[in-house]
Amino acid sequence: MTTFPSITGSRLIRALRKFGFEVIRIKGSHHFLKHEDGRCTVVPLYRGESIGRGLLAQIFRDCDIKREELQKKL
């Protein structure tokens, strides 16, 4: 099993932008991202904290992106 490095919210948002996602709105510390084909997700942006494994897996499912694809964009 491969290990995925811990990733912060801002780094994840930068990587998702490379896939075509754009921030459509911000409510507090939560950034709502949407792709032009309709896929959407929410990424929390807490200073100094990384995204947990469970939430990261949910974001992968929402965006229909494989873990390996995201690792290439980082």
What's the CATH superfamily of 9-73? Hypothetical protein. (3.30.920.30)
Question: Residue 18: what pLDDT?
Answer: 93
Query: Is 33 a residue whose pLDDT tops 60?
Result: yes
Question: Residue 68: what pLDDT?
Answer: 87
Question: Residue 17: what pLDDT?
Answer: 95
Residue boundaries of the structural domains of the chain: 9-73
Q: Which amino acid is at 6?
A: S
- As a whole number, mean pLDDT of residues 9-36 equals 95
**E-assigned strands of the chain?**
22-27, 30-34, 40-44
Question: Residue 2: what pLDDT?
Answer: 56
Question: Residue 43: what pLDDT?
Answer: 95
Residue with token string 């921030």: 23
